[in-house]
Amino acid sequence: MNKRLLITRRLPDAVEARARATYDVVQHADDRQMGMDEVLATAKTVDALLITLNEKFRADVIAKVPENIKIISTYSIGFDHIDVPACKARGIQAGNAPHGVTVATAEIAMLLLLGAARRASEGEQMIRARAWPGWAPLQLVGRRLDGKKLGIYGFGKIGQALAQRARGFDMEIHYYDIYRQPPEKEKGAIYHESLNSLLGVSEFFSINAPSTPETRYFFNQATIEKLPHGAIVVNTARGDLVNDADMIAALKSGRLGYAGLDVFAGEPKINEGYYDLPNTFLFPHLGSAAIEARNQMGFEALDNIDAAFAGKDMPFKLT
């Protein structure tokens, strides 16, 4: 008899086909979001869990996971929704899907940079509202990217992929991370030994750091004051890295020129202040929303589960 696998959301056809070829898959055909009570109840009848970032496996939830579950794999690069030490304490193997999102998320970050700099959201809204009066010399004048300093906070795979794309627009790349990358990965990017140093030069600033206790809400009024006046900020990492009230106030005052945001604290319910800000370019968490990325994410999540059932270490293990 095949092992039974709970998949909490519908995934791309290729991923589900692979899963069904190996496991008896349990999931909702209509892609209905499962509440945590339902997840825990269903977990009693399966052998492993393939979850998404929507299911919050905090310590109190991990404590309620049935004893038969020793394998959890998440369909995401981020794992701030999983209490990894709690999993380890329970003897639960946990893994993520770290590589599939790299290119797709870097593309979205580049799109946000371009859209923010060239006021794309305002232009589209003007067209859709049938309010375009025709070309005018000062209409929606934005900024070019070439020659501008792009500061990247978090120079891992996605940060480096963004840097590669930004070089194609002749931007000057600066970065800060807790570890300096070797020259072959920097590719001419300028390393800063502190976040404050990076902020001071960043005409454009991209948030690409993971959500940790140290980074959570780091982007606040004090951080904003260290940026050049009118800087453009984009975030494709996690919404809880940003203090929304401080970001919104700075956008209203002009201290920040524009923001391109793909992630939000509390999503899908986001701070109401964003909706009426003209100088924002907002996406509904599209970072990995390319079929190539979503397929690879699913395959990596399944690689973890396959390895765990085979008695091997997960290739992308967290515990």
Residues 81 and 174 reside in one and the same domain: no
Total tally of structural domains belonging to the chain: 2
For residues 259 and 295, state if they share a domain.
no
Same domain, 127 and 52: no
Give the CATH number, domain containing residue 191. Answer: 3.40.50.720
Q: Which residues of 33-66 are buried (b: 16+ CB within 10 A; e: fewer)?
A: ebebeebbebbeebbbbbbbbebebeeebbeebe
Mean pLDDT confidence for 236-265: 98
94-109 residue pLDDT tens: 999 999 999 999 999 9
Q: Please answer whether residues 262 and 112 qualify as being in contact, where contact means their C-beta atoms are separated by less than 8 angstroms.
A: yes
Q: Give catalytic residues, as residue numbers.
A: 238, 267, 285
Tell me, yes or no, whether 77 and 23 share the same domain: yes
Which tens digits make up the pLDDT trace of 9-56? 999 999 999 999 999 999 999 999 999 999 999 999 999 999 999 999
For the chain, the average pLDDT equals: 97
Query: Is pLDDT above 80 for 300?
Result: yes
Q: In the chain, pLDDT over 70 holds for what percent of residues?
A: 100
**Which has the closest alpha carbon to 230: 244, 250, 249?**
250
What is the domain range of residue 19?
A: 4-99+291-309
